[in-house]
């Protein structure tokens, strides 16, 4: 009987710990999910500037070195996960210009960077087709997303 009490106490303690980590502690720890892919050499990058009137301006990396610089920039961002509700409250989708981007490592493995608004360039959504990837909204801690730097790197812009 005494073992059952200890077992029940241990299970409750484990469940509370998991709840606290997933609900609170996880959002306090800086984490960039792109960083582990920074050493990839075969990468393509696409970015779209979505205008309020529904039009978009697309750009693509044509050079492997340029794509490497874009990947380096994205992997060096200091990011902190934030809750979806908080991020969506901070973003203004109505009549806003925002960016969506994609890193493609091969035919199946892609990382999507989306919901980068000009009004709130320090919030972005990162998701992926890669199994085990930590999808979600992230806040750039020490700076803002420099979309001008990205567009300056990418020379050929198509409409």
pLDDT tens per residue across span 135-152: 999 999 988 889 888 888
Q: In what order do the strands lie in the sheet with 123-128?
A: 79-82, 136-140, 123-128, 110-117, 98-104, 44-50, 56-60, 157-158
Q: Mean of the pLDDT values across residues 90-105?
A: 84
pLDDT tens per residue across span 43-64: 899 998 888 777 788 888 878 8
pLDDT at 1: 80
The answer to whether 71 touches 40, Cβ cutoff 8 Å, is yes
> pTM of the full predicted structure?
0.84
């Amino acid at each position: 009987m005494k073992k059952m009490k200890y077992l029940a106490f241990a299970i409750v303690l484990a469940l509370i710990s998991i709840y606290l980590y997933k609900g609170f502690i996880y959002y306090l720890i800086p984490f960039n999910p792109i960083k582990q892919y920074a050493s990839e050499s075969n990468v393509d990058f696409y970015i779209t500037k979505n205008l309020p009137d529904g039009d978009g301006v697309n750009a693509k990396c044509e050079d492997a070195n340029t794509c490497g610089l874009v990947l380096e920039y994205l992997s060096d961002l200091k990011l902190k996960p934030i809750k979806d509700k908080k991020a969506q409250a901070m973003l203004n989708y109505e009549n806003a210009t925002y960016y969506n981007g994609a890193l493609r490592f091969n035919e199946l493995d892609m990382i999507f960077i989306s919901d980068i608004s000009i009004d709130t360039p320090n919030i972005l959504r990162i998701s992926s087709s890669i199994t085990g990837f930590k999808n979600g909204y992230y806040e750039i801690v020490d700076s803002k997303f420099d979309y001008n730097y990205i567009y300056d790197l990418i020379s050929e812009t198509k409409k």
